[in-house]
Amino acid sequence: MTPPLPTDRAGVLAHRTHHLADGREAVFFGDRGRPPVEHVVDRRPLDARSGGGELRFDRLTGEWVAVAAHRQARTHLPPADRCPLCPSVGGRESEIPAEDFDVVVLENRFPSLGPELAELPDPDRVGERSLWGVPFPAAGRCEVVVFTPEHQGSFASLPPGRARTVVEAWAQRTAALSALQGIRHVFPFENRGEQIGVTLHHPHGQIYAYPYPAPHAARLAARSRAHLERTGRDLMGEVLADETAAGERMVLQGEHFSAFVPYAARWPLEVHLVPHRQVPDLAALTGTERDELAVVHQDLLRRVDRLYSTPTPYIAAWHQTPVTAADREAGRLHLQLTSPRRAEDKLKFLAGSEAAMGAFINDVTAEQTAARLREAAR
């Protein structure tokens, strides 16, 4: 019988928060039956925390834009013996001051947002024109989720128990970040592959906690609220039911989650992984749902990697609702997995129509992609 997850008094997965030499938090999680790292000491002579970015309001679109010039100096594709996400062993000190660990979530050393926390002004209340020419501190939080101490591999290659720990870390950090001052939207994601723009090879993901709903999340939330008010049903739940009934774009179906290629897919490879129950974010999933999520997420990524002879670059984006009560009631958590790879040796680039107008043109039908992913099951 599998032993229960170690938990704290609140029933949350056991984790321990330590601090790095410059004051950043590092939260250590243990695999099932294993306590997280208990003691760490970061002896590096680090400079003061970087940050100091700014937010500028775009009056034409009504969107906030982050400017993070300090990130130009961030680490870029270092060799394995200088990887900042590997354990600190053999006298080499990394971002993780421990010789071994399971999963670690640490504040980004080169954050796009934060480390300050603050409430942004509401453009509708103060007037959009008053925000022009007045930059605001880039409040928020950026974290790095380190999946494993191993330098090689990917989320798909993690042992099943480790993948489950990562899911638990996403859920715990979603709850913790959502409770911080001024945070309006929490976005966990993973970039894989140099073609996507990764700057570290070590298997990892990130979490952005925005002081505003990100533009795509805001648009989806508005449509979801309107749909719920008009029909009494959540929009993503209705889409899932329709795709399940149609069948031709379904990729996999579990007890708690199903995956399908969306009817109007924008990318040559795009899949949505959706819970059968209406939940606003990862933190709202039950333990049983998290168990299955770890399995089906790995299954989906392995199918993607079987499509070609070399690993496929992708973005695994967790769409969680903004933290407001109305959005949490109307929206539904889902994963959007996308890749620009349209053939073995071809990538789709965002050219004029997509980059300038946001009008996507796909080279592959959703039905073709779904059929290939079904065939890639083993």
Which residue is listed with tokens 């002004």?
Answer: 121
115 Cβ contact partners less than 8 Å away, ≥ 6 residues apart:
24, 49, 51, 107, 141
184 Cβ contact partners less than 8 Å away, ≥ 6 residues apart:
210, 211, 212, 213, 322, 323, 324
- Residue 194: CB atoms within 10 Å: 11
d(CA 79, CA 201): 9
d(CA 98, CA 93): 9
Peptide bond into 115 cis (omega under 30): yes
CA distances from 321 to 16, 232, 334 (A): 27, 18, 10
Per the DSSP assignment, residues forming a β-bridge with 208 are 142, 187
- Specify whether 151 is catalytic: no
Q: Which among 204, 272, 297, 334 is annotated as catalytic?
A: 204
* 190: phi then psi, degrees, rounded to nearest 5: -135, 130
Query: What residues act catalytically?
Result: 204
